[in-house]
Amino acid sequence: MANQLSVAHKQSILTLYSRGFSCRRIAHDLGLDRGTVRKYVLEAHGAGAGADGGIPKPATIAPTGSGGPLPDRGAPKPATIALTGSEGLSGTSEAASGTGEPPPGSVEAIEVTKPGTPSNCLAHRAEILAKLESGLTARRIHQDLASDHGGCVPSYHSVRRFVGKLRATGVASGGSGGSGGGGGLPFRRMECAPGQEMQVDFGRGAPVVGPDGKRRCPHVLRVVLSHSRKGYSQAVDRQDTESFIRCLEDAFHHFGGVPQTLVLDNLKAAVKRADWFDPEINPKVQSFCAHYGITALPTKPRTPRHKGKVERGVDYVQENGLKGRVFASLQEENRHLQEWEASIADTRIHGTTRKQVRELFERVEKPALLPLPPGERFPCFQEGQRTVHSDGHVEVDKAYYSVPPEHLGRRVWVRWESRVVRIFDARMNLIATHVRKEAGKFSTQDRHIVDQKISGVERGAAWLLQKVAVMGTQAQRWAEAMVQARGVEGVRVLQGLLGMGNKYPHAQIDRACGVALEHGAWRLRTISRLIGHDLAHVDQQQLFLDEHPIIRPMADYGRLVHDAFLQPTENP
């Protein structure tokens, strides 16, 4: 069974023919065969072939079902002839679609406007101009109009024709023209002084087919100096921040200098949040710009003409330098780009400047570039955000680094390379620097530990002895002699002695230490006993028996005698 046209297509054919369109024109506009159009016109009107074998002219066709005589051939041809059922076509089509938008091929979708007839889009001219200025396409503009105003909007084809007329007139601002059909203001060309500006953008590179036969398509970064149009191109696998920075750095060294400003697109590798007035630049890109003394200026979102020089430059690389080529590796593609820049791009006479690119760059722009910073290139580091743990450290590659205590629980930025780890606060202020550690190791700086968390053992015997000296001269002398006699374990004794200062007056402790020093007693419990006794009447010899290294405590002798009397006596 032959394919049948939809009702909408049939009605479109009849309506267009009634408006004076030829079968050739109808077939072209609807994408149909001319014979098919002739067939449905003849079937609809029941008209036979004319005297010349063709179909009757539209002006001689009576409306279906009118029953009236055919108009006289000498009479003026009517502009249109209404057909039965055409009045309700628009409502039927929208109802059938169920979306409020006319189906493809319907009269509403075609919406032929006669010469001199005002466009249906004039009521939305200001809104369309504003959206066109934002870089939106005709399809997107029609979608937004339908979303904002419901179904009472012009068709997509009307919007597309209206947008084409606006672009042809060179309208630059949605508010520049009135509601009429007059032209707007022309675009203003912005030319830059030598060394002032550099524009950057990514494009699609040539395919790379490796030895394994796998095909991948890299990205190509195009860098253009705005005054001389001197360019630099480099192919990369990814559009990440590291690749973006390395390409810019290679371009600076290729030019032999640095421009004042960098105009870039709002790509994720460089801009965290796009905003025309206050964009948020990636912190790593900020540090890169500070290293080279350049200012990054992102363009307005969805406004590619703000970097038109590099937009055309990307097209030039793709169409002239890479189109139709396939490379075996990324390195081979970059070698080709270098040769192409030197032999083709640099030797051409630019269409705008009317000068050779290389000659204008060498003579005018290169001397105006800022010098490259001395020393090494921008350090190759990795970065990321970390949360400070409850122990005051952050983790980097399974090693741990301390931060000041006021940042506990907060988010910080960490940058690390092969030898150094740097930690920044949310405002990118440096708060800590560490030597890189192996996995599982800790790097803790003393100034990052609060005083309340540093024990006396950590502070050392010297610090503790200074604290004991406050109790008195005898206490200080006893403490020094005790540490010398007992060694490392005496550090804890010093802590205990300082703890006694919270229970007893310093004078009593100092007097007890003097007595213990005379008898060579180095235990803390001896000091406690002396504090609790009247030193003038106490039997000091009995008190210090326990301190002799070879004499057992008296309690041991008491237990020995007690056990001996309890043992049974053997009979002889």
In this prediction, residue 489 carries a pLDDT of 78
- Band (57; pLDDT cuts 50, 70, 90): low
Q: How far is CA 366 from CA 153, 195, 369, in A?
A: 54, 7, 5
In this prediction, residue 184 carries a pLDDT of 56
Q: Is 430 exposed, middle or buried (0-12, 13-18, 19+ CB in 10 A)?
A: exposed
SS3 (DSSP) at 324: coil
SS3 (DSSP) at 252: helix
In this prediction, residue 283 carries a pLDDT of 83
Average of per-residue pLDDT across 210-228: 89
| In contact, 341 and 250? CB cutoff 8 Å | no
pLDDT in tens, 395-447: 998 899 999 988 988 999 998 886 789 999 988 899 999 998 888 899 988 88
What whole-number distance in Å separates Cα of residue 161 and Cα of residue 112? 10
Helix (H) or strand (E) holding 387: strand 382-387
In this prediction, residue 396 carries a pLDDT of 92
Q: Which of 54-58, 390-394, 417-421 has the highest mean pLDDT?
A: 390-394
Between these two residues, 535 and 323, which has the higher pLDDT value? 323
Average of per-residue pLDDT across 137-142: 80
In this prediction, residue 558 carries a pLDDT of 61
- Using a pLDDT cut of 90, give the percent of the chain over it: 16
Sign of CA dihedral 40, 43, 44, 50: positive
What are the structural domain ranges in the chain? 7-92, 197-368, 382-453, 456-557
- Yes or no: is domain 7-92 CATH 1.10.10? yes
Tell me: pLDDT of 103 over 50: no
Average of per-residue pLDDT across 115-131: 79
| In contact, 479 and 497? CB cutoff 8 Å | yes
Q: Tell how strand 219-225 and strand 215-216 pair up.
A: unpaired
Tell me: pLDDT of 129 over 70: yes
Which residues partner with 222 through β-bridges? 201, 233
In this prediction, residue 386 carries a pLDDT of 93
| CA nearest to 256, candidates 339, 195, 321, 334 | 195
What whole-number distance in Å separates Cα of residue 537 and Cα of residue 486? 30
Q: What is the mean pLDDT of the chain?
A: 76
Average of per-residue pLDDT across 225-233: 91
Helices (H), 186-282: 241-255
Q: Enter the tokens of residue 178.
A: 């009135």
| In contact, 423 and 431? CB cutoff 8 Å | yes
In this prediction, residue 423 carries a pLDDT of 94
Average of per-residue pLDDT across 449-455: 62
What whole-number distance in Å separates Cα of residue 510 and Cα of residue 530? 11
What whole-number distance in Å separates Cα of residue 561 and Cα of residue 113? 129
pLDDT in tens, 252-272: 999 999 999 988 888 888 888
Tell me: pLDDT of 280 over 70: yes
Give the list of residues 6+ apart from residue 241 with CB closer than 8 angstroms, or none.
Answer: 269, 270, 282, 284, 285
- Band (464; pLDDT cuts 50, 70, 90): confident
Between these two residues, 388 and 124, which has the higher pLDDT value? 388
Which amino acid type is present at position 498?
A: L
Tell me: pLDDT of 98 over 60: no
Average of per-residue pLDDT across 113-130: 75
pLDDT in tens, 313-339: 788 888 888 888 899 999 999 999 999
Tell me: pLDDT of 344 over 90: no
Residue 36 sits at the vertex; the CA angle it makes with 30 and 42, to the nearest 5 degrees, is: 115
SS3 (DSSP) at 329: coil
SS3 (DSSP) at 375: coil
In this prediction, residue 431 carries a pLDDT of 92
Helix (H) or strand (E) holding 199: strand 197-204
In this prediction, residue 469 carries a pLDDT of 86
What whole-number distance in Å separates Cα of residue 323 and Cα of residue 169? 32
* Architecture of the domain made up of 382-453: Beta Barrel (2.40)
In this prediction, residue 402 carries a pLDDT of 93
Tell me: pLDDT of 546 over 60: no
Average of per-residue pLDDT across 300-315: 72
Q: Say which range, 7-21, 170-184, 189-203, 289-303, has the weakest mean pLDDT.
A: 170-184
In this prediction, residue 369 carries a pLDDT of 93
In this prediction, residue 454 carries a pLDDT of 56
Helices (H), 454-553: 456-459, 461-468, 473-486, 490-500, 506-519, 524-532, 540-543
Tell me: pLDDT of 524 over 80: yes
Q: Say which range, 58-72, 380-394, 489-503, has the weakest mean pLDDT.
A: 58-72
Average of per-residue pLDDT across 60-70: 41
Tell me: pLDDT of 173 over 50: no
Average of per-residue pLDDT across 164-168: 82
- Band (493; pLDDT cuts 50, 70, 90): confident
Average of per-residue pLDDT across 479-504: 84
Fold of 197-368: Nucleotidyltransferase; domain 5 (3.30.420)
Between these two residues, 535 and 17, which has the higher pLDDT value? 17
SS3 (DSSP) at 408: coil
Give the list of residues 6+ apart from residue 506 with CB closer than 8 angstroms, or none.
Answer: 470, 471, 472, 475
Residue with tokens 């955000």: 385
